[in-house]
Amino acid sequence: MKILWVKAGGLVPPDTGGKLRSYHILRELAREHSITFFSFYGKHPQDSHSQLEKVFDRVVTVPLDLPEPKSFRELGDYSLRLFTRQPYNVAKYCRPNVRRALRQLLEQRVFDAMVCDFVIAAGSIPWEFPTPKILFTHNVESVIWQRHYQVSHNPLWKALSWREWRTMQAAERKYLREADHVLTVSEDDRRFFGKFVDPAKLSVIPTGADTEFFTPTAEPERADSLVFTGSMDWLPNEDGVIYFMKDILPLIRQELPGISLTVVGRNPSQRLKDIAAGTASVHLTGWVEDIRPFLSQAAVCVVPLRIGGGTRLKIFEAMSMAKTVVSTTIGAEGLPVRAGEHLLIADEPAEFAQSTVALLRDPTRRRTIGLTARDLVVQNYSWTRVAKQFAEVLGNVVAKSGRAGTKAAT
């Protein structure tokens, strides 16, 4: 198949869950299919998207002059778009020059299928175009913003989250209807979207892991050590880590005074740095080239998320290394795992602390759960297997549509 893949926010470096999922699926698809990758993202001096030309047939990028996140300039940009109907996270990317460039590409080349990667890119898609269009949703974006609204105590952020929730909810439902087919990453998301569109229009593409890269090591674990991995400029991760440091870690420390926490992920905010600096035995690494040494050394991986959607790659990566995970229900949401067998689930601070302490005191149980978890991922969720399912769904959509190899009328 000739596939046009449209993505906002860029693809490399693959340093977020969404980028990682897309990168691995695309890399596998490119072994057997022709991929044209079209992306638009904030311009930056270390842009390495040209390297993707070694992997894909064609790479087309539109760097954008975007304001820095959480800056006064971004607040001004948000204010300018306040009275539009688009969510800000769609409007800031899907600009007229992006839409023009994408339409020009479609008028010049023939594709069997077009994949809109994340609903964030949907505002750039010419939905009237005849080529089959597949919306690949990594999350229910509106639910993420609803959860931001529910947990926030800052009045301004609460108001902004409420607006993004409501506008994203309307946009999501609009683009679900526009797409010829919709891919979700979990049965939970499929059921949620099935309230608004024909369930026959929905397919689940599970989360995967690079099971050859993330493997168990012989390196000994450090006693009473915890790790959290994830991009710290993603607000659900920051919220989860702060919640853990304030509400859960003190309870663990009552039982295990020597407990330590390592937070591995890029761009921790100044707020997070300040809280960590005032919390004993907490280390923020910032960006690292390889998270595996930190996972190997930790006795338990914690995922204390209160906000989120889709599925968390961080859990499958830890499981692939035979590490035992303690997660909230939201943290493990959508993953095909069983509590008590593949990981532990705990939602209240005291319960989370008790589960973590129990694992830290029982290395045999940790090892048993970790090996069972790795076996689950290796047997069912390698990226090769996931990409094969992805290609099968695309092929079925193209065959059913009878509109393969079409381009815009000129």
Is 409 among the domain residues?
no
Say whether both 180 and 121 belong to one domain. Answer: yes
Measured between alpha carbons, how far is 118 from 17 in angstroms, rounded to an integer?
Answer: 12
Q: Spell out where 176-290 has E strands.
A: 181-184, 202-204, 225-229, 260-264, 282-286
Res 184: pLDDT: 96
Concatenated DSSP letters of 313-377: HHHHHHHHTT--EEE-TTTTTT----BTTTBEE--SHHHHHHHHHHHHT-HHHHHHHHHHHHHHH
Say whether both 299 and 266 belong to one domain. Answer: yes
Say whether both 274 and 396 belong to one domain. Answer: no
Say whether both 191 and 252 belong to one domain. Answer: no
Res 282: pLDDT: 97
Say whether both 394 and 331 belong to one domain. Answer: no
Say whether both 58 and 203 belong to one domain. Answer: yes
Res 408: pLDDT: 47
Res 267: pLDDT: 92
Say whether both 17 and 114 belong to one domain. Answer: yes
Q: Range of 305's domain?
A: 225-380
Token reading at 184: 């979700």
Size of the chain in residues: 410
pTM of the predicted structure, to 2 decimals: 0.84
Q: The domain spanning residue 48 has which CATH number?
A: 3.40.50.2000
Is 216 among the domain residues?
no
Domain count, the chain: 2
Which pLDDT tens digits describe the chain residue by residue (410 residues)?
999 999 999 999 988 889 999 999 999 999 999 999 999 999 999 899 999 999 999 999 999 999 888 788 888 888 888 778 899 999 999 999 999 999 999 999 999 999 999 999 999 999 999 999 999 999 999 999 999 899 888 998 899 999 999 999 999 999 999 999 999 999 999 999 999 999 999 999 999 999 999 999 988 999 999 999 999 988 899 999 999 999 999 999 999 999 999 999 999 999 999 999 999 999 999 999 999 999 999 999 999 999 876 668 899 999 999 999 999 999 999 899 999 999 999 999 999 999 999 999 999 999 999 999 999 999 999 999 999 999 999 999 999 987 655 554 43
Asked if 315 and 345 touch (Cβ cutoff 8 Å), the reply is no
Measured between alpha carbons, how far is 89 from 172 in angstroms, rounded to an integer?
Answer: 12
Is 21 among the domain residues?
yes
Q: Calculate the alpha carbon distances from 23 to 59, 68, 103, 111 in Å.
A: 13, 24, 24, 20
Token reading at 350: 């005291």
Say whether both 295 and 391 belong to one domain. Answer: no
Say whether both 234 and 284 belong to one domain. Answer: yes
Q: Which DSSP symbol is given to 396?
A: H
Residue with structure tokens 């939970």? Answer: 188
Say whether both 33 and 168 belong to one domain. Answer: yes
Is 46 among the domain residues?
yes
Paired residues of 405 in beta bridges: none
Which of 160, 209, 166 has the alpha carbon at shortest distance from 314?
Answer: 209
Helix (H, G, I), strand (E, B) or coil at 73: helix
Question: H-helix or E-strand containing 36?
Answer: strand 34-42
